[in-house]
Amino acid sequence: MSADLETAVRRLLAQKAGEVDGFSSDVQRDAAVRRARRRQAMTLLVAAILVGGITLGGYQVFREVWRTPPSDVVSQPGSGGGNIPSEGAKGCWPDKSEIPCGPGVTPGVWYPYRLQTHCGVREAYFDGRWWVEDSGLAERSGNNAPPGWGNPDQLGHMRLVDSAEAEFSAEEGRLSARFTPAGSGFEPIDCL
């Protein structure tokens, strides 16, 4: 916790402690002390959450939305802020309807994703449609996995930036690719 925040919390607690003096009975004073301690605990909890999040049982309870996802966890919609490991990522194809393959991903949320790289980073199936790589990575790597990327696939995270852009990230942002929606009639390359 920062020194300024800790000083402010101590000042607040000292002020609250002064409010419990002057009670006519010990019962009233004890009740006021308990209320002050509960307020203190809540204040410290809120301060910890605002400063940087807290971790319970290995799962982040609160954290700002990642610009670059960590290498092993991703925020999952509907989970109350819980995280799931990227090891559960599966490759997506049109015959898979569950999120993130099928439609319905939440914009801005990072999903575990296994991107096919064997014939280069060219396309991805995500959110119920095909996307084509748009950051120049396909041109630089040709028909092979880019240098430093896994082959035949790369484990990472994918998110929908908006309806016209998706982003893949792996290795804490060291590997990344941007995608735009494929045009009508798009056929993915046949890479075995």
Distance of CA 31 to CAs 27, 38, 103, 132, 169, Å? 6, 11, 54, 64, 53
DSSP 43: H
User: Residues 19-39: what's their mean pLDDT?
Assistant: 71
pLDDT for 70-80, tens place per residue?
444 444 333 33
Please spell the DSSP secondary structure of 89-151, one letter per residue: -----TT--STTTSS-PPTT--EEEEEE-TT-S-EEEETTEEEEE-SSHHHHHTTSPPTTS-S
Domain boundaries, the chain: 3-51, 85-181
Query: Cβ–Cβ contacts within 10 Å for residue 63, how many?
Result: 16
User: Residues 130-145: what's their mean pLDDT?
Assistant: 86
**Higher per-residue confidence, 171 vs 13:** 171
For residue 107, the model assigns a pLDDT of: 96
User: Residues 157-185: what's their mean pLDDT?
Assistant: 94
pLDDT for 78-121, tens place per residue?
333 333 445 567 789 999 999 999 999 999 999 999 999 988 89
